[in-house]
Structure 1
Amino acid sequence: MRWRRFAVLSVPGFAATAALAVALANGALAASFAVSGQQFKVAADDLKGDGFAQYGSVDANARGDLLPVAVTAIKKAELRNLCQSVVTKLPVIGNISLKLSAGTGSKPVQATDLYMDATDIAGDASFNNIEIGRDASTVDKGPDGAQGMQDAFAQQADDIHIAKLRTVAWATTAGSFKLNGLSMKISKGKKECF
């Protein structure tokens, strides 16, 4: 009887683990880590990047929930007046905001192999030599390995410029991230970038 109960309880867990492994092997999972249960906001007055690719994918949280994202991958990026914020609701205390800013002076934020797993991106964008509708498994202008699933939609360009960038994301990763003029503040209440 115990073996039967064990099987009933463990089979769904094994199935979810197998599904995640297959998704990861096929390039369907974006972030290489379990994302938190909170999205965060990123804003910048200006983003300039060399080597851009964008394709659909999914992130997974620690519970195994799959979260659809648009992966924006940039080989080399500069961001001016970067702001990143997340609001956490805590029992008894209420909302707590963590807000980070950098690149506000003459030195911009610099990143290499930048990946943003976003659910919402807004701003005024321009591209050079853009290809729209390319198979996601064949994009080659972004960082090495920045490819999605075969037969899935993607776009890529030699370079990208976004003014007034506003993004809501599950994850951001980078090979290197230089935050010139970094400032981080935690405060009570809701104090977001936008």
Structure 2
Amino acid sequence: MQNETRGVTRWRRSACLAIPAAAAVGGMVTAMMQGALAANLSLSSVPFTLSSKTVAAPNGIGSVLHGIDAGGQKAAAEVGLAKAGLDGICVHATQEVNLPIVGGLGTWSLNISSPEAATPLTHDQLAAGEGLQATKLILDSQALEASTATLNASDATPNVIGAAADSANIKTTGIQDGTPGQFGLDATGGRTDIRNLDADANGATIAGAITLPNLKIGVAHGDSSC
């Protein structure tokens, strides 16, 4: 009799813990079916990390200063890539889950990932269309790091540090809300190559289509990344 009681208790606990996981995955699947995931990966006011081993932006990048609502107004860098090829991606977010009656269920992780290729892709391969492909990729990032970043340019189309945030070149990256007269980075004169991208962000939007090979969406109890 005691064993049966313990078994029922464990079953109820498992059922309760499964609720947020099922709800989160169900919501993401619905969004994918409606095309929402391809258009908007924004997790408003929920900080997350976005990482990728290798990134190639054939048309370069642009960046402006930007204000975001992250539990209050904060400054962030809005980084735009008109076109991007990525060798793998991991979007990792955590959130405290509280349910009526049940109460607090602790920290849960939502991971959206597309694994890197078995044989690492080069920047040339990514720029040519292999790997994960995205257009008009914009990150609202409070911190963005890379082991290396090469911003190619030419005498005719140099990189401009301090370009107008609303310049025509920066707008080609997908950034449309740059404030006139404010600081911007215009590195659209050549391909940008990035290795080991790691961004702490509060929003990521993709205005165009995105191709995610071997897409995985998972929910895990605790702070567990891809």
Q: What TM-score bracket applies, with the shorter chain setting the length?
A: 0.7 to 0.9
Q: What's the CA shift for 1:145?
A: 5.2
Amino acid corresponding to residue 71 of structure 1 in structure 2 = E
Task: Tell me, in whole angstroms, the C-alpha distance in 2 between the residues paired with 1:189 and 1:134.
Answer: 43
State the SS of the aligned residue for 1:140: helix
- 2:213 paired with 1:180: yes
Amino acid corresponding to residue 74 of structure 2 in structure 1 = L
State the SS of the aligned residue for 1:148: coil
**Contact 1:35 1:59 survives alignment (8 Å):** no
TM-score scaled to structure 1, two decimals? Answer: 0.74
1:132 paired residue among 158, 161, 165? 161
State the SS of the aligned residue for 2:169: coil
Across the aligned residues of Structure 1 and Structure 2, the Cα RMSD in angstroms comes to 2.4
Task: Tell me, in whole angstroms, the C-alpha distance in 1 between the residues paired with 2:51 and 2:145.
Answer: 9
Q: What's the CA shift for 1:156?
A: 1.7
Aligned length: 160
Bigger share in strand: 1
- 2:52 paired with 1:58: no
Q: What's the CA shift for 1:149?
A: 1.0
| Matching residue of 1:116 | 139
| Matching residue of 1:164 | 196
| Matching residue of 2:45 | 37
Bigger share in helix: 2
Task: Tell me, in whole angstroms, the C-alpha distance in 1 between the residues paired with 2:117 and 2:195.
Answer: 17
Residue identity over aligned pairs, in percent, reads: 21
Q: What's the CA shift for 1:179?
A: 1.1
Q: What's the CA shift for 1:70?
A: 0.5
Deviations 1:10-51 (A, max 9, x none): xxxxxxxxxxxxxxxxxxxxxx9x962211100000111023
**Contact 1:138 1:147 survives alignment (8 Å):** no
2:81 paired residue among 74, 84, 88? 74
Task: Tell me, in whole angstroms, the C-alpha distance in 1 between the residues paired with 2:199 and 2:137.
Answer: 14
**Contact 2:45 2:69 survives alignment (8 Å):** no
The structure having more radius of gyration, on CA atoms, is 2
Task: Tell me, in whole angstroms, the C-alpha distance in 1 between the residues paired with 2:174 and 2:97.
Answer: 40
Question: Structure 1 stretches (4+) deviating beyond 6 angstroms?
Answer: none
List alignment gaps of at least 5 residues for structure 2.
1-39, 99-103, 119-129, 154-158
List alignment gaps of at least 5 residues for structure 1.
1-31
TM-score scaled to structure 2, two decimals? Answer: 0.64
